Chain A
Amino acid sequence: MVPLSWYIMLSAVMFSIGVFGFLARRNLIIIFMSIELMLNSVNISLVAFSHYLQSMRGQILVFFVIAVAAAEAAIGLAILIAYYKNNPTIKVDEITGLKG
């Protein structure tokens, strides 16, 4: 049996890779994938905790997260396409119409 801490470590590493990808990559699609990676790392830790605690709450939350992530992907890609129609680029460095 794999101990709980391994799952938590895996989840933490995946989450960190996701955060790094979000901050360091310059392609919107890759950034979007990094966000999905972060969400799925959370799912791993939720399922691991749920199994360890013998409680269903974590697994219920995982289903909601998966459903919401699907909705999020639909809206996110729609926004991306709306942007691409006016401005054909997906490089973050070229999206500078609004100065921060």
Chain B
Amino acid sequence: MGMTITEKILASHCGKSKVTPGEIINAKVDLAMANELSAQLAIKEFDDWGMSKIFDSNKVALIPDHFTPNKDITSANIAKKVREFAWKHNIKFYIEQGRAGIEHAVMAERGMILPGEVLIGGDSHSTTCGAMGCFAAGVGSSDIAYAWAVGEIWLKVPSSMKIILKGKLKNWVSGKDIILHIIKEISVDGATYMAMEFTGSGVSQLNMADRFTMSNMSTEAGAKNGIFSVDDETLQYVRNTERYKLEKPEFKIYESDFDAKYEIEKEYDMSVIEPQVACPFSPGNVKPLSDVEKLPIDAVIIGTCTNGWIEDMRRAAAIFKGRKVHPKVRVIVIPGSTLIQKQAIQEGLAEIFIESGCVFSTSTCGPCIGGHMGVLAEKERCVSTTNRNFVGRMGHPSSEVYLANPAVAAASAILGRIASPEEL
């Protein structure tokens, strides 16, 4: 019996030739990442446990992004604590506000994590980097503290769900729509404890942004990780990262065996999927855009770790170009990272956003968690390209969030209501 890509990566990280789903292993960690919130508790635990040394300061990333640039004194104090910890322990991948961005985009674009490696992150969307052919999973703060101390993580080897993608994407459809459609089909706990493996002939036409979005939101179906195999598109992305250029690190490429065992297999014809919208208050409450009532909206958020990639910026800018945001709507565009922000400026996208009437923000989680920089008021309605629309997620508990792709969000911003790019 063969192994899946996830099983192979995990086996190679616990010194075994084979692992089976359900088995509990201690896996070696190539990168243990935390943002300032999960780091705060992890640091407290690390210190409480009497730990004094990080197992390998080259394998730790600390990326403050949730309440940065700092919202208030409390968040400034948290960031300070994390910064001081990073300096004290000589953490290689501590990147300061203004040079970093949102953790998942930053880890990917800097090559902090590479194909075939094991990443654990103190953030549920740490699944994002699975798009690069690595095992990437979200964990809690204790797990991070444990990994900092011993360089390992205890894991139950997940069974795998094979998602076979076929067919060509329709106009205005992107990875966001495919993953929303899948979450609707299998439900928000459909992949709980499982590895979601995206494969099939359709993958080749998904760009890295699409793949990152899909791996990002695999956690919304309860998955442990969401993984793609490595192809030319991935290799090109990896070779372009700063770390790869500087250090030329070696990495291993794993692929699932033809006789690997899957608990569930699903096939999707992407050519029949239209843009999708997740209505309040669950990422699983998904409808095709044409079935969603064209309700008026107050705010639009485009970007963040889900859809803040350069391709997403281009998709949104293509809609905003030469058009104005509806007078009753506020739009915030948030690139996933500072590097993406810079590229958006170089490509002239930033100017398009500002001309159109959007806020072109520095990279931060801010509005996505109702933290700062664009919190929703009572009963406000927002179309957002982020990944969660729970009660109160982006502000007041009575506010409503509709999740969509960047083109749909931009079209809605212009028409002042939930809208399709086709209507423009």
Do chains A and B interact in one complex? no
Which chain A residues have a beta carbon within 8 Å of chain B's beta carbons? Answer: none
Which chain B residues have a beta carbon within 8 Å of chain A's beta carbons? Answer: none
